[in-house]
Amino acid sequence: MPSVISAPILAHREVAPRHFVLTLHAPPIAASAQPGQFVQVRGVDWVDPLLPRPFSVMRAHRDKGDIEILYRVVGKGTALMTRWQPGGNAQVFGPLGKPFQLFPYGARVLIGGGVGIPPLLMLAEQCGRRPEAMRAATVVLQGARTADQLLCVEDFQRTGVTLELATDDGSTGHHGLVTDLLKPHISRLQARYGTVEVFTCGPMAMMRAVAETCRDGGVGCQVCLEAPMPCGFGVCMGCVVKVRGAWEIGQGSRRIKGWTMERHYKRVCHDGPVFDANEVVWDE
């Protein structure tokens, strides 16, 4: 059940140019937040902008009751947030939305870039805490334009899962798009583990390319979408995305899913932000 909290700000630091990590004391949210879920955040005295801004939960420290979000400064709300100091308070509502679904079998690839990285770090840390077999069967692929725009690299390294980087200018890792790395990893993991599930979050063009690669390779793919979110809890219809009709039989590894020609809309905040990539209509 989501909670609305006036959360004490515990820490606030710049981790890359125009990117900040904010730590908030929010015990009810920390107690239940899962990778892929998000919180709505606003200043306690905000008038303009009035509405909260959505951010993925990057970490939930259940023992301390703290959560961390990582945000990029893009407009009015995030610019105001940069002024927040430890000792102050922020209004937080969450956790909201449906999380990633992590299967205990097979292998997984987490692929993302930009501010799609926070939910993937939470997921990678969850995989890193699981038994060795799950850690070994998890690969993270992160892309950015340049090396200084890569995020949380040391945090990913600490999880113990395999991390590969790509930069457009070749300043670190693979010289090119992060999606170039996906197909070889899928083939290798499929040969070794049988089943592979891909989790992606980041720029739309990247997620669409990931979705196409997974569809062509017959691999499951969960996408964490972004949309403008006036309310965040399903009442305003301001965040809808076009999706296909779906049918499903069976459960777990024996689940079979298919798609129809029917088109309708779903709310990213309430039905997502995590969707099956095949459900999303990417090209209309």
Ligand X SMILES: Cc1cc2nc3c(=O)[nH]c(=O)nc-3n(C[C@H](O)[C@H](O)[C@H](O)COP(=O)(O)OP(=O)(O)OC[C@H]3O[C@@H](n4cnc5c(N)ncnc54)[C@H](O)[C@@H]3O)c2cc1C
- Smaller CB distance to ligand X: residue 4 or 15? 15
Q: How far is the CB of 36 from ligand X (least distance, A)?
A: 9
Binding map of ligand X across residues 207-246, x = CB under 6 A, - = no contact: -------------------xx-x-----------------
Greatest alpha-carbon pair distance for the chain in Å reads 55
**Residue 230 contact among ligand X, ligand FES, none, beta carbon within 5 to 8 Å by kind:** ligand FES
Among the listed residues 94, 95, 143, 232, the single contact to ligand FES using CB under 6 A: 232
Near ligand FES by CB under 6 A, which window of 30-38, 179-187, 225-233, 254-262? Answer: 225-233
Binding map of ligand X across residues 70-99, x = CB under 6 A, - = no contact: xxx-xxxxx---------------------
- Smaller CB distance to ligand FES: residue 137 or 239? 239
Q: Does 49 bind ligand X (CB under 6 A)?
A: yes
Q: Enter the tokens of residue 192.
A: 């070794």
Q: Does 2 bind ligand FES (CB under 6 A)?
A: no
Q: How far is the CB of 106 from ligand X (least distance, A)?
A: 26
Among the listed residues 15, 235, 246, 281, the single contact to ligand FES using CB under 6 A: 235
Residue whose pair of structure tokens reads 């062509």 in the numeric block:
216
251 to 25, 37, 195: CA distances (angstroms) = 37, 23, 15
Q: Does 273 bind ligand X (CB under 6 A)?
A: yes
Among the listed residues 135, 183, 236, 242, the single contact to ligand FES using CB under 6 A: 236
**Residue 177 contact among ligand X, ligand FES, none, beta carbon within 5 to 8 Å by kind:** none
Chain residues that interact with ligand FES, rule: CB under 6 A = 229-232, 234-239, 267, 269-270
Site for ligand X, rule CB under 6 A: 38, 49, 53-56, 69-72, 74-78, 115, 118, 226-227, 229, 273
